Structure 1
């Protein structure tokens, strides 16, 4: 019995690596990396992260969450017919082609899959094998769990390495903003009716389909997220969005659990998820646009818009959103003044910084050949000579 389960698990892992979405998102991640590099070069004549940052993020940051979700749905014995898994893959691929990562929220991919299963005529069952036997309750519960997982991932990782850029305000002044375009791959372990495995436990699977034998299937499930931030720090804004998504997932899951006893609640759950997810996006945009520009020229000091990786500025623990007030004891207001103050001491750099909590601190380190020219700080500046430069 154990040997059968282990062999089936190996087959499930093998099926994971032949799933088309696993390779499609290599291309999508690479495409978004190219767009980001082009945008950063237009703003600063230099890229911030390398071309493959999105790809590395996609295929690493969701692994642990995928394990947790898989354990949860496996413990429930939640099963989906193979045809439903195929429909989910098709819908995910179609939404990815829109190049709008927010449509890759679980609210939309799972929600549209459930609506398709609910309303596609049963005569298509021969093409999407077994989809007509899908438990809508199981699918809606999966939607709720994955929306919660999405919110947690947004809170914990989406704010990391956001991409800084420059644009011109309606008043003709340069302002900075941060863009987060993120996807996560979650490896999900599903039970699919029609295999050779059976359970000897009377209570498991709890959400099985007609008590049929099943096989194991590991699929790459992709989540997407996109948010632009110009009215606050990226970390603060994105974490608020993530928390809202978590609460939306909880509401979806509560409705989905109710659908075990009254099936129409499953459709209501995913509709609430889709409308709620879009409402969260619209609300964030309205709040961000109505707020004062966070990354703009100030009367005193220079606002840090971005930090280049592996640069002296990163080793000095400078972070986005801090204000540099003095360099080597000289007050600075423009990039010109910043550069001139650096030349006062070519072997040492001491910065007076106001951190994001409004407290003054000092950052200092020795400089080596060439470093006084390139500390690795990105600023917003009025003067055309400097506004597009990394300092």
Structure 2
């Protein structure tokens, strides 16, 4: 019992010492600070004052890490130590230069291609031979294992995006060529999931006798945390951002299932590994291109209008959050007064400082009416975000 407690403690310690996870956390903190500063500059106050990116990173990385680790141990996921080192270094470098959220799948696929090339090169035999005295296992691990791991990453990427994509629609103001202002909804979050995997050999325990070593099928393997990158950097201009990210999330989940099938088949046809890997990457890029294309072909823009005020965001825990008001709606009338600017809107709110009655036109052209009580004498706290005058 004491041995198992020590083993779990050591694994947790190795998780805490993960540099990729800590750099990812710092990066998310910086991203949240930039977003809040941008919101204050564009709208006078932050739409979302809390650093929700940091909260997502901490809570979801640990939750997803537990799930992926359990799945990994159940299926006995074994990865080569050379690929583990390559992927970890690439992930760390990309986070440090700010590309972690843009290239998570590219980093994964690229590292697998590098490993496959290295495995079949003369350089591999020389390096692995020289490291045998260090108990560096030269046992070949099937690349199909990495395809299976990619399938898990793609599926979990879809689950993560379904959970957080568009949930916090933070608008960003852009100027078109003719100076017309429009709003876009950027999603720029990163997640580092510490997944427990097995690597052949007992390299670590050779130098640190207390490190746990397992035996599977008569082969020694060492459990290590692999920092899996999840991320997306995409801006939506012409759709409801939550709906757009939900569709993309569904595409990733379906792709993950298809890649899983291809990975299983790759165990029986080893020559198909790189084909499945290449097709998976092409389909992943295709999902992103399709989302951008679908967004660009819409006629709707989150732009200023002359016959009302455009709703760009809803602040949480405000009266507006309780009303039937959605991002993209146009408020045409407030408390019986026609409105066409932010100033008009707040002047109309002052006509009844404790209640708000709105007439709204949806992006589809439908009309609706909604009302709610507001904070007495504080109309600016209604929580509706719109273009500044």
TM-score range, shorter chain: 0.7 to 0.9
Structure 1 residue 177 displacement after superposition: 1.1
8 A Cα contact 1:101 1:182, kept in partner: no
Equivalent residue number for residue 271 of structure 2: 264
Whether 2:107 is the aligned partner of 1:109: answer yes
8 A Cα contact 2:154 2:252, kept in partner: yes
Structure 1 residue 225 displacement after superposition: 0.8
Whether 2:270 is the aligned partner of 1:279: answer no
8 A Cα contact 2:88 2:226, kept in partner: no
> 2:37 and 2:139 mapped to 1: Cα distance?
46
Moved more, 53-62 or 92-101: 92-101
Paired residue for 2:376, among 346, 368, 386? 368
Partner of 2:190, secondary structure, is strand
Please give the per-residue CA displacement for 1:166-196, whole angstroms capped at 9, x wherever unaligned. Answer: 1122343211111110112323121232345
Structure 1 residue 235 displacement after superposition: 0.6
Structure 1 runs, 4 residues or longer, greater than 6 Å off: none
Unaligned runs of 5+ in 2: 203-211
Kindly report the root-mean-square deviation, in angstroms, between the aligned alpha carbons of the 2 structures: 2.7
Residues 211-360 of structure 1: pairs in structure 2 closer than 5 A: 211-298=218-305, 300-316=307-323, 318-354=325-361, 358=366, 360=368
Whether 2:135 is the aligned partner of 1:136: answer no
> 1:212 and 1:299 mapped to 2: Cα distance?
72
Residues 34-45 of structure 1: pairs in structure 2 closer than 5 A: 34-45=33-44
Query: Please, what TM-score do these two structures have when normalized by structure 2?
Result: 0.85
Q: How many residues align?
A: 370
Please give the per-residue CA displacement for 1:27-82, whole angstroms capped at 9, x wherever unaligned. Answer: 21122223323432342233323473322221223433333322222111111233
Partner of 2:98, secondary structure, is coil
> 2:56 and 2:319 mapped to 1: Cα distance?
24
Query: Please, what TM-score do these two structures have when normalized by structure 1?
Result: 0.85
> 2:318 and 2:174 mapped to 1: Cα distance?
24
CA 1:112–1:184 in 2, change beyond 3 Å: closer, same or farther?
same
Whether 2:117 is the aligned partner of 1:119: answer yes
8 A Cα contact 2:262 2:276, kept in partner: yes
CA 1:237–1:94 in 2, change beyond 3 Å: closer, same or farther?
same
Equivalent residue number for residue 208 of structure 2: none
Partner of 2:168, secondary structure, is coil
CA 1:366–1:159 in 2, change beyond 3 Å: closer, same or farther?
closer
8 A Cα contact 1:34 1:51, kept in partner: no
Partner of 1:59, secondary structure, is helix
CA 1:355–1:7 in 2, change beyond 3 Å: closer, same or farther?
farther
8 A Cα contact 2:334 2:357, kept in partner: yes
> 2:127 and 2:327 mapped to 1: Cα distance?
53
Equivalent residue number for residue 8 of structure 1: 7
Structure 1 residue 108 displacement after superposition: 2.0
Unaligned runs of 5+ in 1: 200-204, 381-385
Equivalent residue number for residue 63 of structure 1: 62
8 A Cα contact 1:259 1:266, kept in partner: yes
Structure 1 residue 249 displacement after superposition: 1.9
Partner of 1:60, secondary structure, is helix
8 A Cα contact 1:189 1:218, kept in partner: yes
Moved more, 11-20 or 45-54: 45-54
Equivalent residue number for residue 16 of structure 2: 17
8 A Cα contact 1:187 1:220, kept in partner: yes
> 2:199 and 2:57 mapped to 1: Cα distance?
26
Structure 1 residue 284 displacement after superposition: 2.2
CA 1:131–1:92 in 2, change beyond 3 Å: closer, same or farther?
farther
> 1:352 and 1:49 mapped to 2: Cα distance?
25
CA 1:12–1:244 in 2, change beyond 3 Å: closer, same or farther?
same
